[in-house]
Homo-oligomer: A and B are copies of this chain.
């Protein structure tokens, strides 16, 4: 079943960023030739997250980052900042989660009209490893 999983890297370019990875995931799904099943997308880091939302208006990604900054401000007395100065990014990653699962039908992802798969960077710029697992 080695053809059922694949990894790729995304280079982020700012400390906080929203990066649309839908087409990269879609390529993996199409290449695998799965007719039906599930596609699990996971970022293999604990200071980034995967979400599903709209990117047609890119300001939505900015709004999500701002809302998270408001709820989890940088350096607000977090204990982990004494060891590594990125506690806020761990907290946000834990709340949003490292993965999303998407249905696969007729060899392609099932997504609503305005749904896209987004890598949320909270501690960039970095190289982020994404693992795609297909089942079905």
Tell me the A residues contacting B by CB distance below 8 Å.
Answer: 1-2, 4-5, 35-38, 40, 42-46, 51-54, 57, 59-60, 62-64, 66-68, 70-72, 78-80, 82-84, 87, 90-91, 93-103, 105, 110-115, 118, 129, 131, 133, 135-136
B80 and A60 within 8 A (CB): yes
Closest 8 CB pairs of A and B: A44-B112, A59-B79, A103-B133, A1-B36, A53-B94, A63-B78, A51-B94, A67-B91
A101 and B101 within 8 A (CB): yes
Q: Which residue of B lies closest to A120 (CB)?
A: B94
Number of copies of this protein chain within its complex:
3
Bound together, the chains give a CA A53 to CA B103 distance in angstroms of: 23
Assuming the A-B contacts A97-B100, A101-B101, A131-B110, are A54 and B46 also in contact, with contact meaning beta carbons closer than 8 angstroms in the complex? yes
Contact of A5 among B2, B98, B105 (CB under 8 A): B105
A66 and B78 within 8 A (CB): yes
A5 and B36 within 8 A (CB): yes
Contacts of A113 in B (CB 8 A): 44
